[in-house]
Chain A
Amino acid sequence: MMLTVLLLVTQVAVQDPRLERLDPETRSLVVSVVDSARAVGLPGEPLIQRALEGVTKGAQGPRIVAAVRRLATDLGTARSALGTRATTPELEAGVAALRAGAGPQVLTQLRDARRPPLTMALAVLADLVTSGVPVDSASAIVLAFAPTARDADLVEFRRAVERDISLGAPPGAAASVRALNTGIRGANDAAVPPGQPPRPPSRP
């Protein structure tokens, strides 16, 4: 039974016409990574998209394969942190948060603190860190928001912080001040006054 499923999965990857844009050697290696990922329950589509991104951007085969392998590894790490019920968008956002610098334990805390889907919360965490907000501050704020904030609240918070940063505010101070002034319950507990080290995230 398992062998049949594995064969079917392999067939799907081999026959995916989108991968014909890759050269044969690269395609073979990418298909191998995709098959291995699917065999352990990881989504294959993000890996295919990463390979297609590479070929469209003119990257060399080894670079594409390395990127696909790295993504497969990170998807596995994200799933370990978020659990086997995590959806593909949640895993992708989890990978973004991990690569931004958030630890797997932050992902697990977020999973425990917030009802799914976690995609937006994870994405906002990654985007805040990418904007320059220290990862500890961003993690503490998002974890404090997690139990009650709507996705739209998180997006608005991120936009406000990015707006402040574009106007010249230091990223950490922008996030802290915005967190202090937001109406989202729990945000004040996580806000770190500018110039002080962030407090460790507290469980709700």
Chain B
Amino acid sequence: MFERHDDIVDRVVQQLRQPVSIDPAVDDRVMAEIAADAATPRPRLARWTWLAAAAALGAILIARPWAGGTASPLNAFQFVLVAPQASSVALVGDFNDWDPARSPMRTAQGVWATTVPLAPGRYRYAFLVNGVEWRADPGAPAARDDEFGTPSSVITVGGNGS
């Protein structure tokens, strides 16, 4: 490893080869310290501490913060109706209590649109044109069970992001 004789290296090697001498009293001192520590009385945890810890654990298990909460995620959906002759169009459905005032639609050259946040579920809805005319969404499945004599559509929002 060393191609030339080096005094420094020799001295280091000699030092390393010398046996290490430890003061024989070290063991006694260490054991005395351990014995003294064990003899010192530790403060006992009060019963209420354990109860509080159990309550906190129970609360965490009930709340399950790692589950992400129970609130349903909302996804924004755009509803569009082409009605060039209409003077007003409102979107009504299960998501806004069928209240025409809740989701008025805005127009750009006859294309009426609005965006509504929806939680997972299946919703019936329809367009109210000029306050009197009911129209289904031509781009969505029709509601088969229309019991009130006017067309409605359905939208289904999946529970896993679809």
Asked if A120 and B92 sit within 8 Å, CB to CB, the answer is no
Bound form: Cα–Cα A126–B120 in Å: 17
List of B residues within 8 angstroms of A126 by Cβ: 144, 154
Q: Does A103 contact B (CB under 8 A)?
A: no
Asked if B159 and A100 sit within 8 Å, CB to CB, the answer is no
Bound form: Cα–Cα A143–B154 in Å: 22
14 contacts between A and B (CB under 8 A): A52-B97, A57-B134, A67-B147, A67-B148, A70-B147, A89-B121, A93-B122, A96-B122, A117-B160, A119-B122, A120-B158, A120-B162, A123-B154, A126-B144
Q: Does A202 contact B (CB under 8 A)?
A: no
Residue of B nearest to A156 (CB): B162
Asked if B162 and A130 sit within 8 Å, CB to CB, the answer is no
Most chain B CB inside 10 Å of its own CB: which residue of A49, A155, A158: A49
Asked if A127 and B147 sit within 8 Å, CB to CB, the answer is no
List of B residues within 8 angstroms of A96 by Cβ: 122, 144-145, 154
Asked whether A117 and B159 contact (CB < 8 A) given A89-B121, A93-B122, A131-B141, the answer is yes
Residue of A nearest to B142 (CB): A130
Q: A49: which of B94, B134, B160 is its contact (CB, 8 Å)?
A: B94
Residue of A nearest to B159 (CB): A117
Which A residues between 64 and 91 are near B, CB-CB below 8 angstroms?
64, 66-67, 70, 88-89
Tally of contact residues, A, Cβ under 8 A: 39
List of A residues within 8 angstroms of B158 by Cβ: 117, 119-120, 151-152, 155
Q: B121: which of A57, A119, A124, A155 is its contact (CB, 8 Å)?
A: A119
Interface set of A (CB-CB < 8 Å, partner B)? 18, 46, 49, 52-57, 59, 63-64, 66-67, 70, 88-89, 92-93, 96, 99-100, 116-117, 119-120, 123-124, 126-127, 129-131, 150-152, 155, 158, 162
Bound form: Cα–Cα A129–B159 in Å: 22
Asked if B121 and A88 sit within 8 Å, CB to CB, the answer is yes
List of B residues within 8 angstroms of A67 by Cβ: 147-148
Q: Interface code B140-162, partner A: CB below 8 Å = 1, 0 otherwise?
A: 01101101111010101011111
Bound form: Cα–Cα A140–B100 in Å: 40
Bound form: Cα–Cα A1–B161 in Å: 39
Q: Does B135 contact A (CB under 8 A)?
A: no
Asked if A150 and B159 sit within 8 Å, CB to CB, the answer is no
Asked if B92 and A56 sit within 8 Å, CB to CB, the answer is yes
Asked whether A130 and B122 contact (CB < 8 A) given A52-B98, A53-B98, A93-B156, the answer is no
List of A residues within 8 angstroms of B154 by Cβ: 96, 123, 126-127
List of B residues within 8 angstroms of A46 by Cβ: 94
Bound form: Cα–Cα A164–B13 in Å: 88
Bound form: Cα–Cα A130–B153 in Å: 11
Residue of B nearest to A120 (CB): B158
Q: A152: which of B92, B145, B162 is its contact (CB, 8 Å)?
A: B162
List of A residues within 8 angstroms of B97 by Cβ: 18, 49, 52
Bound form: Cα–Cα A53–B150 in Å: 10
Asked if A56 and B98 sit within 8 Å, CB to CB, the answer is yes
Asked whether A92 and B122 contact (CB < 8 A) given A53-B98, A57-B134, A151-B158, the answer is yes
Bound form: Cα–Cα A128–B120 in Å: 20
List of A residues within 8 angstroms of B161 by Cβ: 151-152
List of B residues within 8 angstroms of A63 by Cβ: 147-148
